[in-house]
Structures are given as C-alpha cells and as structure tokens.
Amino acid sequence: MEDLTQDEWASQLADDNNAVVLDVRTDEEVADGIIANAIHIDIYRGQEFISEIEDLDKNKNYYVYCRSGNRSGQACSIMEELGFENTYNLEGGILEWAGDLVDLD
C-alpha cells in the first residue's frame, strides 16, 4: 500500500490505464456523491466485503478511498493480505477531495 496525497492520487490515477477506483464508504456516505467510475464496496460489511474484494482482478491497480483515509488504509491492508500488489490510499479521503463527485442515481 502506498499513501498518496490528493494531488498524487489524482495525477497517478489519470495516467494509469490499469486503474480501478474503489470506494469503501457506507451506503449513506455514498449517497452524498462518489468519484466517477468508482466501485462501491462497504468495508463495514465484514465477510461480505472480503468476498467481494476476492472477486476483483488482482492484476489491476486499486485507488482506494473512504471519508477520511482511515478505512481505505485498512482496506488496502486487507487487499494486500489477499494478494493485491498495487493499492493506493487517498490521504484525507473524500473530505479533502477537490475533484468532481457524481450521484449514483
């Protein structure tokens, strides 16, 4: 796992053709908006979270975020334990995100 600042995360993501954006917030948090093209898997789902993560392609690069950066850091650690090699945690989470957000509905 690598912790990236907002600028590093956005810049690296823009240049990464093998990127997947992963939002690990709750449904209630996601209702306020999500980064475009992000996959939403709530880390608080416990074993269901693990099962959904295990179904992801381990050869992709995962840009993970939550509200403040704590849960996404935990998610990156879990993903590494499951064999994911390239996970990037968004420092400061969505609270400090200056980019656009989209509604899911």
Question: Would you list the domain boundaries of the chain?
Answer: 2-96
At residue 35, what is the residue type? I
Name the least confident of 37-41, 72-76, 100-104: 100-104
The pLDDT assigned to 91 comes to 96
CA 60 to chain centre: 13
Residues facing residue 90 across a β-bridge: 4
The pLDDT assigned to 55 comes to 96
Task: Tell me the catalytic residues.
Answer: 66
State the chain's mean pLDDT as an integer: 95
At residue 71, what is the residue type? R
Q: Extract the tokens encoding 63.
A: 């840009």
Q: What proportions of the chain, in percent to the nearest 5, are helix, strand and coil?
A: 40, 20, 40
The pLDDT assigned to 105 comes to 65
Phi, psi (degrees; rounded to nearest 5) at 72: -65, -35
* Residue 91, SS3 per DSSP: coil
CATH code of domain 2-96: 3.40.250.10
Q: State mean pLDDT over 14-42.
A: 96
CA distance 83 to 105: 33
